């Protein structure tokens, strides 16, 4: 066999491998899109008779991971888009208004780390009792805090989610104020 024949065979082999990779990628993507998952069954005899190239296996794993990531990202985007479409503007505005106050934010931040009594909150915020009471009633009404089993106040799951969301928003926006 001449050098030219060897080069032609090598070029043909590379082209066949490229097409095979594209076919595998297309089939994996179709399976993920159609069923949300893929399953590969390899007969024991086939497995012992064939020793797949490590490069092909790594490429296949990489393609599967990329396909799964892409699928999850697309599904996640659609889910968030649906949440935005379904969001009631009035209730979202009321929820944000309940925390659109520096003193209320201080209170929920204090409750984020541990339960607090009325006196703890009064001392930590340096507010008069009627002001603390007013803010607590607002937070209770929106379901962001609740009365604890042992007295005092606790941050509810809803309150915890909102505080975390606000912290992430603050971080994402760099804490900047916009006029």
- How far apart, in Å, are the Cα atoms of 169 and each of 65, 87, 162, 175? 29, 18, 10, 8
pLDDT tens column, 71-118: 667 777 777 778 778 888 888 888 778 778 899 999 999 999 999 999
What residue ranges do the domains of the chain occupy? Answer: 3-86, 89-172
Handedness of CA 136, 139, 143, 148 (dihedral sign): negative
Question: Is pTM, for the whole model, over 0.85?
Answer: no
User: Which pLDDT band holds residue 61 (cuts at 50, 70, 90)?
Assistant: low
Look at 68 and 132; give whichever has higher pLDDT. Answer: 132
Looking at the chain, the whole-number percentage of residues with pLDDT higher than 90 is 27
Specify whether domain 89-172 bears CATH 1.10.3720.10: no
Is the pLDDT at 133 greater than 90, yes or no?
A: yes
Nearest to 111 by CA among 93, 100, 124, 98: 124
Is the pLDDT at 153 greater than 90, yes or no?
A: yes
């Amino acid at each position: 066999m001449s050098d030219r024949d060897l080069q032609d065979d090598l070029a043909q082999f590379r082209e066949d491998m490229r097409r095979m990779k594209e076919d595998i990628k297309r089939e994996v993507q179709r399976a993920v899109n159609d069923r949300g998952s893929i399953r590969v069954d390899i007969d024991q005899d086939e497995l012992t008779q064939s020793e797949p190239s490590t490069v092909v296996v790594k490429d296949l794993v990489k393609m599967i991971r990329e396909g799964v990531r892409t699928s999850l990202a697309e599904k996640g985007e659609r889910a968030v888009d649906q949440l935005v479409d379904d969001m009631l503007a009035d209730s979202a505005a009321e929820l944000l208004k309940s925390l659109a106050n520096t003193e209320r934010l201080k209170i929920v931040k204090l409750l984020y780390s541990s339960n607090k009594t009325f006196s703890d909150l009064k001392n930590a915020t340096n507010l008069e009792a009627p002001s603390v009471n007013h803010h607590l009633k607002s937070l209770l009404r929106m379901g962001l805090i609740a009365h604890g089993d042992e007295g005092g106040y606790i941050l509810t799951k809803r309150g915890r989610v909102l505080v975390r969301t606000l912290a992430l928003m603050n971080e994402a926006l760099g804490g900047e104020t916009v006029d």
